[in-house]
Amino acid sequence: GESVGLHLPTLSVQEGDNSIINCAYSNSASDYFIWYKQESGKGPQFIIDIRSNMDKRQGQRVTVLLNKTVKHLSLQIAATQPGDSAVYFCAEPPSRTGNQFYFGTGTSLTVIP
Amino acid sequence: AAGVIQSPRHLIKEKRETATLKCYPIPRHDTVYWYQQGPGQDPQFLISFYEKMQSDKGSIPDRFSAQQFSDYHSELNMSSLELGDSALYFCASSPTGTTGMNTEAFFGQGTRLTVV
């Protein structure tokens, strides 16, 4: 079945630096990905999404890059702030309506003041 | 904007007891997902419903059951609770997009279940 996974479980960055969180996927037919942020004790929150007809999408301080050739996507956070400390998941919506969202292993981002 | 509502937010039960978790999806969302997340772990998919029918099933124990009602709210029933059932239980809802596929899932704040 499909799998979505992250390369590193933890990441520590200095406040103000840029953060890059990576994610690999295995299903070459995947055409839509979502990044979620989960703060401690809270539900995952949507950050940004990208479809396979794009290789880059920008939001407020966040950019997602998609490399379909190597089945890899990354989340870049510019000027990381303490409030960015959280666990980040990449997720793949189901290929069939109603099927599960596949979550990759989360990366815990810690911002050092 | 309306979000996914879960109740209760916190629940403490003893071993072998029964618990019922409720989820109220965002209006006009036709799909509901249940996930279980242990401390420091990734969300584990339990079960999903689309248009009130079970759609997909993950690692849900036989002691658990769920259903989606006519108003699209969903309930997760957990019986013979074990210590290992202590976790955050998230519900998410998703609309069906113009392509006929689910788009992003919106998560509730979760129910923290503690089994003692």
Q: Looking at residues B47-64, what average pLDDT do you find? A: 92
CA dihedral A73, A76, A82, A88 (to 10 degrees): -10
Chain B CB within 8 Å of residue A33 CB: no
**Higher pLDDT among residues A60 and A4, named by residue:** A60
Closest CA to B4 of A81, A45, A54: A45
Could you tell me what percent of chain A has a pLDDT over 90? 64
- Please tell me the distance in Å from B48's CA to the nearest CA on chain A: 6
Contacts of A32 in chain B (CB under 8 A): 101, 103
Chain B CB within 8 Å of residue A50 CB: no
Q: Looking at residues B50-54, what average pLDDT do you find? A: 91
- Please tell me the distance in Å from B17's CA to the nearest CA on chain A: 24
The domains located in chain A, with CATH, are: 4-95 (2.60.40.10)
Contacts of B108 in chain A (CB under 8 A): 43
Cα–Cα distance, A79 to A6 (Å, whole number): 22
Q: Is B84 helix (H, G, I), strand (E, B) or coil?
A: helix
Mean pLDDT lowest among A49-53, B26-30, B38-42, B86-90: B38-42
* The predicted structure's pLDDT at residue A4: 62
Domain residue ranges of chain B, discontinuous segments joined by + = 5-115
* Six-digit token string for B34: 């249940």
Chain A CB within 8 Å of residue B56 CB: yes
Residue pair A87/A109 in contact by the 8 Å Cβ criterion: yes
Q: Which residue bears the tokens 């079970």?
A: B54
Cα–Cα distance, B71 to A90 (Å, whole number): 30
Question: Which residue in the set B48, B106, B109 is minimally distant from A100, CB to CB?
Answer: B48
Model confidence at A1, in pLDDT bands (50, 70, 90)?
A: very low
Q: What are the tens digits of pLDDT across the range B94-106?
A: 887 666 665 788 9
Q: What is the DSSP letter of B100?
A: S
- Please tell me the distance in Å from A100's CA to the nearest CA on chain B: 6
Report CB contact under 8 Å: A97, B100.
yes
Contacts of B107 in chain A (CB under 8 A): 36, 43-45
Residue pair B19/B6 in contact by the 8 Å Cβ criterion: no
Question: Which residue in the set A93, A100, A106 is minimally distant from B104, CB to CB?
Answer: A93
Average pLDDT score over chain B: 92
Domain B5-115, CATH number (from 2.60.120.10, 2.40.50.140, 2.60.40.10, 2.60.40.1120): 2.60.40.10
